[in-house]
Amino acid sequence: MSGIQRIALVLTIIGAINWGLVGFFQFDLVAAIFGGQDSALARIVYGLVGLAGLINIGLLFAPSEREERAAEPRATR
């Protein structure tokens, strides 16, 4: 996993936690930290989380390490 994918995954997790808080408690943590949903900083965070979600779509289609090992040719004797 590349550095960009790791950052995207962290941002996606932050977004998921925020949506969980909104869904269960009607509390928007990002808006609370950055001064409301309409503040520039909150909108930047929302945008970055959205981009991170798009980047993480690629993880759905990336072969797992186990699949890559199984595809390697085995030495025959």
Report pLDDT digits (tens) over 53-66. Answer: 999 998 888 887 76
Which residues, other chains included, contact 22 with Cβ-Cβ below 8 Å and sequence gap of 6+?
28
Q: Give this prediction's pTM.
A: 0.76
Residue 30 backbone class (left: φ over 0; alpha: ψ -120 to 50; beta: rest)? alpha
Residues of the chain with pLDDT under 70: 66-70, 72, 74-77
